Amino acid sequence: MARLGQLIRASCRHRAAFAEPPNVTTDCCVVAKRQRVFYTHGRCAWLSLERTTVLQWNIDAGIQEIADNLIATRRDFHAHPELGYQENRTAGIVAERLSHYGMRVRTGVGGTGVIGVLEGALPRPTLLVRADMDALPLQEENDVEYRSQNPGAMHACGHDGHTAMLLAVAEALSHWRSELRGTVKFVFQPAEEGGGGARRMIEDGAMDDPPVDAALACHLWNNYPVGRIGVRTGPTFACADRFSARIKGKGGHGAHPDQTVDPIVIAAQIITAFQSIVSRNVSPLETTVISVTSIHGGSAYNIIPESVDIGGTVRSFSEPLRDHIRQRMEEVLRGITDAFGAAFEFDYEVGYPPLSNDGEMADLVRAAATEVVSSAEVWENEPTTGGEDMAYFFQKVPGCMFLVGSANTEAGLDYPHHSPRFDIDERALMVGASIMLCAIKRYLTGAV
C-alpha cells in the first residue's frame, strides 16, 4: 500500500507527445524519464490535457478504477437529477458508498444532507470538505446518452460532478485512513441553488461531532477551459439578496392624471434612484449590483393603476455594505413616495452571505493545484457576483472554495452554468478530485 505522501505524483507537467493513453505503466515511465520528470514506480493512471499537461496518479490502491468510476458516477447523477431537498436517490447512493468506505455516516442532516466522517490516527484537526447535490428546474436540451431522465430537472451547474468528485476523494482517502493525522468530514449538502441547504445542515449540527477546524470546496467552472484552476484570497462570491416593493398610489382615468397619484411615474423615479445608490452611496472601489428585474402594474391603456410592484436582486461583497444598501433603498422609497403623496411596502430578503476565502487556506489550495496542473494554469480568479451558500461554513471556520475549469470550446462544452445546454469536459473531474486530495493531504500533514 502506498504511503500518503505518494498519493499523487503529479509533477509531470511536460507537453504530452502522445495522442493515445499508454496502456501500461512502463510507457508512461519512459516518457516521464525522457522528459526528466520526477516519477516513482507504482500503478499509474494518467490524464492528458490538451497542449500542456499530463497528470499522473501514482497510486497503488486502484486509483484507475476510482477514476473510471468517477465519470460513471457523475453520469448516473446527471441522468437522475433531483431538486433541492428532494435529493433522496442521490443521498441514498452517497450514504451507501460512504458506509462502504468504512465511514461513520449520518443521513437526513438538514433535510436530505449526508455526512461521512473518516477518522485518522489522531482526532484533530478536522477538515470539512463539501459537495452540493441539487439540480435546477430546467429542461435539458443536450442530446447525450446520460441526459436527464427527470422532466423539468437538470444538473446544469455541475453539482453532479461535485458529488461524484467528493465520493472519489472519499474512496481514495479511505485507503489511507491509518496515515491521516486528523479527521476528514465529508459533507454532501442539499439545496445549494437558493434553498440554503448549508445553513440547515449547520443548524442540524454539521459543524459539531467532531468540531470542524477548516473547510474546502470546489466548483466546476465553465468560464475556464479544462486544466485551469481559479484560487482567490478574499471576497470571491457575493451575497445574493432579493427585494420586492409595492408603490401604492391612487388610480383613476388616464385622461385625468391630476386626479390620481400615478404609481407608474413614481416607480420610474424609484428605479432610477436605486441606481444612484450604486453610483453615489458606494465607494467606486467596491463592487455592488442593484438590479430591478421585474415591474408589474396596470391593465388598460386608459387606466392609471392603484399600485405598481417591482422586484429584483442586490449583490455585494460585505455584510456592512449590504446593510447600508438596504437602508438606502428604504430611504429612497420613503422619500420619493412621500414627495408624490404615495405609500409603499418594502420586503428585503437577506440571502446567502458573501463568501470570502481565507489567505492560508487559499495558499494551501494553490500549492495543491500546482501539484496537479502547471503553475501557469493556476489563476487568481475574479470575484463573481453569483452567490454560493458555502459561505455559511466559512462564517464559522477559515476555508477556501476554488474553481475547476471544465469547458472545452472545440467539443462544444462551453455553455454557461444554468443553461439547458450546460455540460462539462469530464477530465475536469479528475483534476478537481486530484487537487482536493492534494489539499487534504497537505492540510492533514501540515505541509502547507
The set of catalytic residues is: 134, 192
* Shortest reach from residue 52's CB to Ni ion, in Å: 27
Count CB-CB contacts under 10 A for residue 388. 23
| Using rule CB under 5 A, residue 191 touches Ni ion | no
Q: Which is nearer to Ni ion, 58 or 189 (CB)?
A: 189
Distance CA 258, CA 275 (A): 28
| Per-position DSSP letters for 384-401, written without gaps between them | BSS--TTHHHHHHS-EEE
Q: Closest residue to Ni ion, Cβ-based?
A: 157
Gap between the terminal Cα atoms of the chain: 24
DSSP H or E segment with residue 338: helix 319-340
Count of residues near Ni ion by CB under 5 A: 1
At 110, list the grid cell: 438538514
Q: Which is nearer to Ni ion, 160 or 171 (CB)?
A: 160
Return the amino acid letter for 272: T
* Shortest reach from residue 198's CB to Ni ion, in Å: 12
The residues in 144-163 that bind Ni ion, with binding defined as CB under 5 A, are 157
* Shortest reach from residue 219's CB to Ni ion, in Å: 6
- The 3-state DSSP class for residue 61 equals coil
DSSP H or E segment with residue 109: strand 104-109
The pattern of x and - marking residues 107 through 146 that bind Ni ion according to CB under 5 A reads ----------------------------------------
* Shortest reach from residue 306's CB to Ni ion, in Å: 40
Distance CA 120, CA 99 (A): 16
* Shortest reach from residue 157's CB to Ni ion, in Å: 4
Give every strand in the sheet of 113-119, ordered side by side: 104-109, 113-119, 181-189, 122-132, 214-225, 399-407, 229-230, 378-379
* Shortest reach from residue 154's CB to Ni ion, in Å: 12
β-partners of residue 407 are 225
At 63, list the grid cell: 486509483
Distance CA 41, CA 56 (A): 11
DSSP H or E segment with residue 104: strand 104-109
Return the amino acid letter for 430: M
- Chain residues in the site for Ni ion (CB under 5 A): 157
